[in-house]
Structure 1
Amino acid sequence: MPSLQQFFSCLLLQENQQTYALLSTLDLHRVQYGNSGTVLWHHWAPTTYWSRPLWIIPIHCRTQQHWVLAVVSVEEKLIFVYDSFAELNAWESDLEDIMTLISKMMLLASQHEHPISTKDPQGSWETYPLFQGSPQQHNTHDCGVWVLCMIAAILRGFSGVSIQEGQMPQVRQLFAQLLYRFPEYARRR
C-alpha cells in the first residue's frame, strides 16, 4: 500500500477512467425517494456508467447520519460495502435500496439501448464487507473522509488504505491542498 503522501499525490495523475463509474450519492437518494424512471434516466443519460465494469457509490445513510461506500462489480454481480465503523447493521438497511438502484440502472440502460452484461444473468448478487483488515474510526466525524480515502485507494487499484485514525488531520490537510490545486489541475487537462 502507498504511503500517505504517495497516496494523495497519485490522485492528481490520470486514472483509468474506462474502468469505473463514480456515482453520485444522490443517485441512491433518488431511488429511495421513488423517482420515476424518466427522472432517473434524465440524470443518468449524460453518463456512461453502463460501459464501466466497476461502479463506486458513496452512500449517506440517512438514519445513522453516516457515510459508507458500495463498490459494485457489475460483470461479477458482486457488491462490496465499506463502513469505517465496521458495523454490518449500519448499511444492511440500505442494501435493499442499493439493489433497487442497480436494478433500475440496468433496466433503464437496456431500455435505452445500452445493455449491461453480467457473467451469469440468472445468478443472484452477492454482498461482502470491505472492512475486514481496514482502519476503523472511533469518533463520529471522520466517516466521510474515510470514504474519500477508500474511493481514492480503489481508483488507484488498491483494496484498502494503510492510514491510521491519528493521521486524519494530515489527511484533511492533503485533501484541502488537492482541492486548492484543482483549478490548476483542471487547466492542464
Structure 2
Amino acid sequence: MYYLRKKAKYGPNNPVRYVTTDVFFKSWVELIYNQFKDNHNDHSLITPEHDVAQVIRGYKLLANIAWDKVDYVLIPINVGQKHHWVLAVLSIQSRCLYVYDSLPGGAAHTRAVREIVQKLAKMIPLFFNSTGFYGKRDDVDWKNNIEYIEKGVSDPLDYVFVENLPEQDPESNDCGVYVCAFAEYISQGILEIPKDEFDHHLHRSRYGALLWDYARKKQDAGAISECEATGLVTGKLGGPRIRKEPVPQWEKLPRPKRKVKN
C-alpha cells in the first residue's frame, strides 16, 4: 500500500486520483468509534488533531495525500477473528464504501467484515465535518448529487459488498496478495476485477520482483522513506515541519441540503 501511495503522489501518469491508508487506520477508527459510543456520541472527541483526521488531511502517513484531492481512498482492513484481509474503497463521488473480499463465505465471516465497515461508514463523515472536508471540494455538486442531497453531512456512508470477484482457495493464506492486486487494479481505474484473467501466482511473483528492485534502487541511491514524510511524522523525526492549513469551524461551512419531497 505504501508503494501505491507513493505512486499516487509522484507518478506522472496516474489514470485516477487515489490514496491509500495503512494498517493502523482501521485500528484508529475502531478506537475512536468505541470512545464515541461509550461517551454517548460526544462530538468533542472528533477533532482535527485526531489520528483519523490527520490521515484525512494529508498528514500522519508517509507520502500521504489529502482526501479532498482524490476520488478514491483504498483502505486495507484486517479481520482479526479470521486473520483475513479485505479491501474497502471509498468513492468520494458516490459517498459509498465498496468492499472487495476474496473470501466470501458464511454468516459469521460476513458479519465480522460488516461490523468493521459499519464503523468506518459511521466515523468518516464525522471527521469530514471536523476537518472542513466539504468546504474543500469544488468537483462535487453538493446541491444536485443525489448521494449527498438525500443524506445529512454526518449520516453514515453507504456500503456495498462487490460481487463476482476472483476468489482465493478457502484453505489458503493468499488474502494479502488478493488485496494488493485489487488495490492495484483500482489504482488503474479498473473497478470491476476480471475474474477469469486473475492469476494470484503471477501477482505474487511480480510483487516479489517489484519489491526487490525497489529496495535495490533505494539502497543504491541512499534514500530513506522518512525524507518523504509530511506533517507530524516529519516533525517527530526532526525534519522541517510543514505548516498545516487552518481548519475552519465546521458550523460555518456550506452544507448539503436535504431534498424536500413534495
- After superposition, the Cα gap between the structure-2 partners of 1:50 and 1:85, relative to the gap in structure 1 and judged at 3 Å, is same
Alignment equivalent of 1:153, drawn from 180, 185, 194: 185
Alignment equivalent of 2:213, drawn from 167, 173, 181: 181
Equivalent in the alignment of 1:80: 98
- After superposition, the Cα gap between the structure-2 partners of 1:185 and 1:169, relative to the gap in structure 1 and judged at 3 Å, is same
When structure 1 is superposed on structure 2, of 95-104 and 176-185 the one drifting more is: 95-104
CA displacement, residues 1-23 of structure 1 (integer Å, 9 cap, x when unaligned)? xxxxxxxxxx9x64538621212
**Aligned residue runs from structure 1 range 8-157, under 5 A:** 14=12, 16=14, 19-34=17-32, 37=46, 38-45=50-57, 46=59, 47-87=65-105, 89=107, 90-115=109-134, 119=145, 120-123=148-151, 125-132=157-164, 134-138=165-169, 139-157=171-189
When structure 1 is superposed on structure 2, of 80-89 and 48-57 the one drifting more is: 80-89
When structure 1 is superposed on structure 2, of 67-76 and 146-155 the one drifting more is: 67-76
**Structure number having the greater strand percentage:** 1
> What is the distance in 1 between the residues matched to 2:218 and 2:29?
33
- After superposition, the Cα gap between the structure-2 partners of 1:73 and 1:178, relative to the gap in structure 1 and judged at 3 Å, is same
- Residue identity matched to 1:178: L
> What is the distance in 2 between the residues matched to 1:126 and 1:25?
22
Size of the aligned set, in residue pairs, is 175
Q: Shift in Å at residue 102 of structure 1?
A: 4.1
**Unmatched tracts of structure 2, length 5 or more:** 1-7, 36-44, 60-64, 222-262
**Unmatched tracts of structure 1, length 5 or more:** 1-10
Report if the CA contact (8 A) 1:28-1:101 is conserved.
Answer: yes
TM-score of the superposition, structure 2-length normalised? 0.56
TM-score of the superposition, structure 1-length normalised? 0.74
- Residue identity matched to 1:54: Y
Q: Secondary structure at the match of 2:99?
A: strand
> What is the distance in 2 between the residues matched to 1:19 and 1:131?
24
CA displacement, residues 84-103 of structure 1 (integer Å, 9 cap, x when unaligned)? 12237424433343343344
- After superposition, the Cα gap between the structure-2 partners of 1:43 and 1:156, relative to the gap in structure 1 and judged at 3 Å, is closer
- After superposition, the Cα gap between the structure-2 partners of 1:99 and 1:21, relative to the gap in structure 1 and judged at 3 Å, is farther
> What is the distance in 2 between the residues matched to 1:54 and 1:88?
29
Q: Shift in Å at residue 160 of structure 1?
A: 0.5
- After superposition, the Cα gap between the structure-2 partners of 1:79 and 1:87, relative to the gap in structure 1 and judged at 3 Å, is farther
Q: Shift in Å at residue 125 of structure 1?
A: 4.0
Q: Shift in Å at residue 171 of structure 1?
A: 2.1
Report if the CA contact (8 A) 1:86-1:131 is conserved.
Answer: no
Report if the CA contact (8 A) 1:85-1:136 is conserved.
Answer: yes
